[in-house]
Structure 1
Amino acid sequence: MSSSVIPYGKQDISQDDIDAVVAVLKSDFLTQGPQVPAFEKAVADYCGAKHALAVNSATSALHIACLALGLGEGDWLWTTPITFVASANCGLYCGAQVDFIDINPRTYNLCADALEQKLIVAQANDCQPKVVVAVHLCGQPCEMEKIHRLSQRYGFRIIEDASHAIGGRYQDKPIGNGRYSDITIFSFHPVKIVTTAEGGMVVTNDKALAEKMELLRSHGITRDPALMTHKPDGGWYYQQVELGFNYRMTELQAALGVSQMQRLDQFVAKRHQLATRYDQLLSELPVITPYQLANGYSGLHLYVVRLKTEQLKRSHREIFDELREAGIGVNLHYIPVHTQPYYKQLGFKQGDYPQAESYYSEAISLPMFPLLSEADQDRVIEVLTKVLQ
């Protein structure tokens, strides 16, 4: 790759991927053909889930997942503040209220212990969540078994936001198998582990939820006589039975996804090789490298270090800016959602989630993607070492 800028993430497109997309362009179907169900089957089979539905983004996936679970006005959705805004916005789209649970300071995921404490208070005040969105930040799974136990005690539903995590495992089972959740969603944005250019997926073991989400992704329209209020007038007939959306994925995207899925394990293995090498190369620097739970296998979408700011002469911002100026395309995942202006208008304020805010003041995402060479990785370390002095 170019020696000018090393991005924090980058897609890996092979000739097979290109050929798959070109084949669709030469076919009879650009939308709603055989590639979408083929991609859905590839993901469902990989995860060990019964149902998978492809959509045009992970945001769309979150939206229809919330609607399928019945989230609406008067309900609460809880999630982590360290995530992309879509993990929280999906609740607002449904007319629900949103709240947050602070993060575990080691894993940076939603803290299951903090969730339990908040649920105790919420039960006393009769404002328990209807849905909890557990985000697998950087690809590392949350403590899903404990979150699931809490859901059984307090009566909420669970969405796993696995936008970062396809190809990862929890308790030696593929993320997305649905053992501890109602619905799992994946993202296929170009910087993610596999890409469809833009796209998302919902997976579930619940047939009723799958049927509901299938309606919602396509205008709420059905041609299935079993779902209609009266018999069809003719072969042309369809009915709108829900207020749905145009969240469909194209054949072009799905064909790319089918091809990419064949290299999923290879992509994740390479990410782990890079992470192991980062761990070694960074061991003497004033940074905290990512902690990995023993019962999880991360998809490693991101490699986030935390600066030991008390040992440094430069500020977090100065270090970030100097890395970028030197051609290291670092990023920061994420700005705590509750500090965004829109959420401040809803009543959230600085200081509400101290662990999330502490993380934000120290975190930097280093380049992590399968095409990252050892020479580029050495350059990242060389520049980072110089900047941290």
Structure 2
Amino acid sequence: MKFRKTAALLSFALAFGTFAVLPESISESLDIGITAEAASDDNYFIGDYFIKKESDGIDYIVYYSGPGGDITLPEGVAVGSYAFSNNDTITSITIPKGFPQNASIGEYAFSKCTNLKKLVIESPISIDKGSFYDCINLRSVELKGGVRDKIGREAFFSCYNLKKVSIGENKKDSFYIDNAAFYDCFSLSSVNIPESCSEIKGTAFMNCCGLTEVRIPPNTIFTPDAKYHMGYIHGAESYFLARSDWEKNQVTKLADGNTTLYEMKVKPKDERSLKKNYVEVTAQKLTLIVTKGSDAEKYAKENGLNYKYEGASSDRSAAPSGFKCSGTTDSITLRWDKTEGADAYAVYMYNSETGKYEKYKTVKSEKCTVSGLSSNTAYKFKITSLYSVNGKYKKGETSKAILAATKK
């Protein structure tokens, strides 16, 4: 590693001529005479970081020569393209507050940092194309300051161990998530889309087959990609087959259903693979949490995705409660409180002959009148809340038994 560091620093000295000053320890280790008139205001070191001022007036890190491990970047400087690319010593990165407002993390800046596991960014940030491309051991991403402008194309492409992405709200700027930003993030199971996300492009979350539920803000729109016009946010059950565009029979579809299994066959020389001969993934069924009338709802309906409306319980609607009963000689009217997450209710009446509760009716309001009953008789009821997924009702929680009687 020392040789790599020294050689790289020497190349910078030669590239920038008399503007660069090598540290004495490096000059001595090279056993050559290197002289420089003075450090330039445009090129300098901050610790292990070599900085260059570009024509836009922003100072960029263009090379890192440190020992790796957990690193925190200097404040007030941006990150140039390829600055940390192919570094296999860095395990975590923190970018503090003070990142230049008009700068982005450069293209492929941290690509192929194969031992990077954690990323924390405190400032509002814009992320360029391929910034974390192929960081195969990256596990978590925290964008605490939110996003400015974009999460760029292929920003986290093939980060196939990435499990959680947390994006803070940036109230000053809107941003979009570009095509293939999280392409092939097979392990991704948790991602929040903040209100400031104005657009999600075609293949942004393609092959994120571990995602089961994603909330889409009401004003976020979906923009199709010209080639993969149905990519959007989806599990692998439909869109892994896009890999067959690369080479015939590269992907084999093995099964259908909610847990569709695919085998991706890749030649060992293929750098776009997971560096294995094949990978098997089990796709989960994705549910979009949407607002009525939103672009996300429209997309889900048009493309056969599960969806449910904002405010519904993440798993099931709650059990109805707060019952009030009134009766006539041949009917009983049941009333109850509005139930969180419920779109409708199934009313069940106990059948003494079968010993079971049998369904009487489905209602959309918190009221049901059961008629055709015998006078002066007690009856038992239960009510199950229902919530809508893809326009069909699924069962939520069921109430305790309700006892009511008709009049004489």
Q: Which structure's relative contact order is higher, taking Cα pairs within 8 Å and 6+ residues apart?
A: 1
Report the TM-score, using the length of structure 2 for normalisation.
0.21
Flag the structure with higher helix content: 1
Flag the structure with higher strand content: 2
Higher-Rg structure is 2
